[in-house]
């Protein structure tokens, strides 16, 4: 099947919130000085969420086995949410804005026709990190939420996604990542406890004189 045929068969989401999308991209047209920073951030900014998970792991080393289990579960929860989003993306098959609204101002380059728009993979990763950290450290989760909101906005700003792609990502990622973290906290804690008695102990526990605290 040709690229043009694939694009014709895909779902056109411009009728949902295309006007809001163009309002944001028109803003991008008027703030060209911001285009490059936003384009850089929309991709490299995902590293912030990895850093926050590493910070959660580092803190969990002083907080006991349950906290460490939640910390180790965080990347698993994010990957699970991302995988779920990829399945939904193939099922919905929403064509990218650059193809359904080619006259809009676009900062980002147009991906292949089979790289669908709904939901946003970048925003899924961001929102899933918020949920994954919620059971571990509410402060880190709140910081992640701020950066997730920024990430979602940049996806629309550069023209890669409609606003409903971003919102749909959060609606999908938050419960999937949270439930995954909750399940792993329950079922994987004995495994982490066993690993904590072996060679991996220095990575799982920071020796201190204070009693370990539970995940908060």
The string of pLDDT tens digits covering residues 3-37 is: 444 444 467 888 888 899 999 999 999 999 999 99
Which segment of 110-114, 125-129, 165-169 scores lowest on mean pLDDT? 110-114
Query: What is the rounded average pLDDT of the residues 69-79?
Result: 94
Contact between 45 and 151 (Cβ < 8 Å): yes
In a domain, 213, yes or no: no
In a domain, 211, yes or no: no
In a domain, 99, yes or no: yes
Q: What integer pLDDT is reported at residue 135 of this predicted model?
A: 93
In a domain, 12, yes or no: no
- Is the pLDDT at 202 greater than 70, yes or no? yes
In a domain, 102, yes or no: yes
- Is the pLDDT at 56 greater than 50, yes or no? yes
In a domain, 214, yes or no: no
Q: What integer pLDDT is reported at residue 144 of this predicted model?
A: 97
Domain range holding 143? 19-192
Half-sphere exposure of 28 (CA within 13 A, CB side): 24
In a domain, 7, yes or no: no
Q: What is the mean pLDDT of the chain?
A: 88
Q: What integer pLDDT is reported at residue 210 of this predicted model?
A: 45
Number of domains the chain is built from: 1
Q: What integer pLDDT is reported at residue 10 of this predicted model?
A: 61
Instruction: Answer with the residue of higher pLDDT: 204 or 187.
Output: 187
In a domain, 81, yes or no: yes
Query: What is the rounded average pLDDT of the residues 177-182?
Result: 96
Query: What is the rounded average pLDDT of the residues 196-200?
Result: 76
Instruction: Answer with the residue of higher pLDDT: 196 or 1.
Output: 196
């Amino acid at each position: 099947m040709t690229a043009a045929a694939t694009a014709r068969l895909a779902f056109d989401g411009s009728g949902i919130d295309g006007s809001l999308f163009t309002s944001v991209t028109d803003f991008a047209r008027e703030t060209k000085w911001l285009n490059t920073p936003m384009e850089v951030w929309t991709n490299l900014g995902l590293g912030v969420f990895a850093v926050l998970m590493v910070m959660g792991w580092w803190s969990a080393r002083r907080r006991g086995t349950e906290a460490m289990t939640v910390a180790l579960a965080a990347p698993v929860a994010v990957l699970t949410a991302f995988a779920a989003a990829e399945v939904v993306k193939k099922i919905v098959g929403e064509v990218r804005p650059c193809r359904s609204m080619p006259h809009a101002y676009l900062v980002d380059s147009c991906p292949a026709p089979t790289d669908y728009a709904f939901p946003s993979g970048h925003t899924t990763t961001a929102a899933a990190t918020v949920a994954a950290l919620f059971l571990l450290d509410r402060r880190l989760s709140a910081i992640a939420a701020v950066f997730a909101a920024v990430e979602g906005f940049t996806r629309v700003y550069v023209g890669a996604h409609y606003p409903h792609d971003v919102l749909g990502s959060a609606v999908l990622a938050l419960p999937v990542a949270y439930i995954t973290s909750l399940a792993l906290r329950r079922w994987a804690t004995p495994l982490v406890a066993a690993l904590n008695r072996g060679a991996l102990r220095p990575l799982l526990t920071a020796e201190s004189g204070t009693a370990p605290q539970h995940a908060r």
